[in-house]
């Protein structure tokens, strides 16, 4: 079979040119459509993220408002309830547990300084009732950060002083061991995921 060689005519060249121009035009239109689609998708995702963030902030504000209206104070990721009256250490702890919290666990110098601002003898969640001399927090962790007043803990007078309190002192180191039956103010701590 022989192929016939068709000469290029101006009409053929014109058709080829139109085909190239139309193809390029279609590619440009497709690129614009794709660009717009991607921008809309990005905008939609951004709007969704902003809505979720706004809802999260509203939830946090509602939780914050709820606790502060009930007399809790927010500091460093926890809410603190400072009692207006005095009880024994165990009764104080029971009050905290009923509030969905526990006696305060002081885990940093900043938290210690925050607690020091409240005046009066205050129960904290520290005790050595399980084993004399082994001080543990109410969550069972062994005491590692210490702010004992000089000479404390000391089991004064030979009797067991198994509960920790904060004394109303200016000094940073103001913890004391004392009898759990004494009546003090207390501070509950509740960690709330905001």
| Full DSSP string of 59-98 | HHHHHHHHHHHTTEEEETTEEEEE-SS-B-HHHHHHHHHH
In the chain, pLDDT over 70 holds for what percent of residues? 96
**Preceding amide of 153 cis, omega within 30:** yes
Q: How far apart are CA 162 and CA 177, in angstroms?
A: 6
Residues 43, 90, single domain; the answer is no
Its pTM stands at: 0.74
pLDDT in tens, 46-92: 878 888 899 888 988 999 999 999 999 999 999 999 999 999 999 99
In a domain, 1, yes or no: no
Within a domain: 103: yes
- In-domain check, residue 111: yes
Domain limits for position 16 = 9-69
For the residues 125-137, what does the mean pLDDT come to? 95
Specify the number of domains making up the chain: 2
In total, the chain counts a number of residues equal to 194
* CATH number for the domain harbouring residue 148: 3.10.100.10
Same domain, 60 and 13: yes
Residues 6 or more apart in contact with residue 169 via CB below 8 angstroms: 116, 149
Judgement on whether residues 97 and 168 belong to the same structural domain of the protein = yes
């Amino acid at each position: 079979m022989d192929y016939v060689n068709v000469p290029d005519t101006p009409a053929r060249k014109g058709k080829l040119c139109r085909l190239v121009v139309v193809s390029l035009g279609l590619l440009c239109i497709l690129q614009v459509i794709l660009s717009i689609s991607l921008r809309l998708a990005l905008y939609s995702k951004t709007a969704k993220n902003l809505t979720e963030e706004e809802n999260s902030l509203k939830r946090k504000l509602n939780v914050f408002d709820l606790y502060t209206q009930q007399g809790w104070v927010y500091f460093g990721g926890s809410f603190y309830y400072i009692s207006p009256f005095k009880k024994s250490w165990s009764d104080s702890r029971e009050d905290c547990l009923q509030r969905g919290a526990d006696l305060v666990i002081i885990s940093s110098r900043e938290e210690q300084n925050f607690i020091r601002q409240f005046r009066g003898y205050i129960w904290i969640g520290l005790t050595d009732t399980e084993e004399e001399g082994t001080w543990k927090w109410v969550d069972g962790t062994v005491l590692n950060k210490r702010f004992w007043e000089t000479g404390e803990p000391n089991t004064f007078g030979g009797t067991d002083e198994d509960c920790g309190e904060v004394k109303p002192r200016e000094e940073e180191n103001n913890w004391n061991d004392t009898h759990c039956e004494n009546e003090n103010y207390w501070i509950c701590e509740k960690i709330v995921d905001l």
